[in-house]
Amino acid sequence: MTEKVRFQSVVGPELAGAIDLPEGEVRGWGIFVHGFTLGKDSPAASRVSKQLAREGIGMLRYDNLGVGESDGDWGDGSFTIKVQDTVRAAQLMAERGTPADLLVGHSWGGAAVLAAAAEITGVRAVATIGAPVDPSHVERQYDAVMDRVLSEGSHEWFVGGRTLVLKRAFVEDVRHAQLRDRIGELDLPLLVLHSPTDNTVDISNAGEIFNEARHPRSFVSLEGADHLLTARGQAQRAAHIISAWADQYIHGSHPAGQTSQVVKSSLG
């Protein structure tokens, strides 16, 4: 079952979220952060979160600013805001009595969870899927309009069948984002998942993230998967791997009965 929630972005508008409630024994809780222009209902976000919930890990996935069911303007966001809103999402989970043990991020969302993890109390493990080591990797997606954005302050950008407004502050924030130091300072278990056939974010990014990180760190190659995890069973496969890996870190993280009572009350 899924519980709909809303919480406020650091820049004001409300963000829409969905918590996939855990089935059976509650093993823990987590947050899934989606990719650059994707959303909480994208294949990776939805399928991975739902499979983790089936395996006892309840997951909050939410739409970033101006995406999906969230309010606001996508162009008013940035990498910094994505990171800060991930912290806001964790605050929501803590307030409802289900603090996040696990952070999972896909693509640009993977970079965001690496940056946000140290700012979230209680997180026990972090997993990335197809993440870039440098947030500015996304520049290649809007390279054709970047000069206009920098000279004019903003410009329309057509992507994924819709038109977004890309703003100078967004571009400049992405360019100044520093992630490598945060990876090196991350004092949490890290799982890096990446496909060798990822044509959007090259697998060399996974190697750099892994090399920058401290132990305990793990890498799993998602052979045959595309970047968006759209192929049949690939998202569920990634979730199985994350679930098994995370068990040693999140198992027993909550007092007996605490999470089951929360789930019962949230179902009304």
Q: Is residue 116 over pLDDT 60?
A: yes
Cross-strand partners of 106: 129
Q: What is the structure's pLDDT at 258?
A: 43
Average pLDDT, the chain: 91
Residue 232 gets the label, from left (phi > 0), alpha (psi -120 to 50) or beta, of beta
Q: What is the structure's pLDDT at 252?
A: 59
* CA 49 to each of CA 18, 39, 101: distance values in angstroms, whole numbers, following the listed order: 10, 13, 14
Give the residue, 166 or 44, on which the prediction is more confident. 44
Q: Is residue 58 over pLDDT 70?
A: yes
Candidate from 42-56, 85-99, 157-171, 174-188 with smallest mean pLDDT: 157-171
Do you find a cis peptide bond into 189, omega within 30 degrees of 0?
no
Give the residue, 87 or 141, on which the prediction is more confident. 87
As a whole number, mean pLDDT of residues 214-232 equals 96
Please state the φ and ψ torsions of residue 224, each to the nearest 5 degrees.
85, -5
Candidate from 88-97, 127-136, 167-176 with smallest mean pLDDT: 167-176
Cross-strand partners of 31: 60, 103
CATH assignment of 2-135+178-250, among 1.25.40.10, 1.20.120.1690, 3.40.50.1820, 3.30.470.20: 3.40.50.1820
As a whole number, mean pLDDT of residues 143-157 equals 83
pLDDT band at 229 (very low <50, low <70, confident <90, very high): very high
Question: In the 8-state DSSP scheme, what is residue 187?
Answer: -
pLDDT band at 178 (very low <50, low <70, confident <90, very high): confident
Q: What is the structure's pLDDT at 166?
A: 86
Q: What is the structure's pLDDT at 147?
A: 84
Q: What is the structure's pLDDT at 85?
A: 98
Bridge pairing between strands 2-8 and 14-20: antiparallel
Residue ranges per structural domain of the chain: 2-135+178-250
Q: Which candidate, 70, 54, 61, 51, places its Cα nearest to that of 31?
A: 61
The CB density around residue 165, as the number of other CB atoms within 10 Å, is 15
Express each pLDDT in 247-259 by its tens digit.
Answer: 999 975 554 334 4
Q: Is residue 115 over pLDDT 90?
A: yes
For the question of whether the overall pTM of this predicted structure is more than 0.95, the answer is no
Q: What is the structure's pLDDT at 253?
A: 53
Q: What is the structure's pLDDT at 140?
A: 76
The H or E element spanning position 18 is: strand 14-20
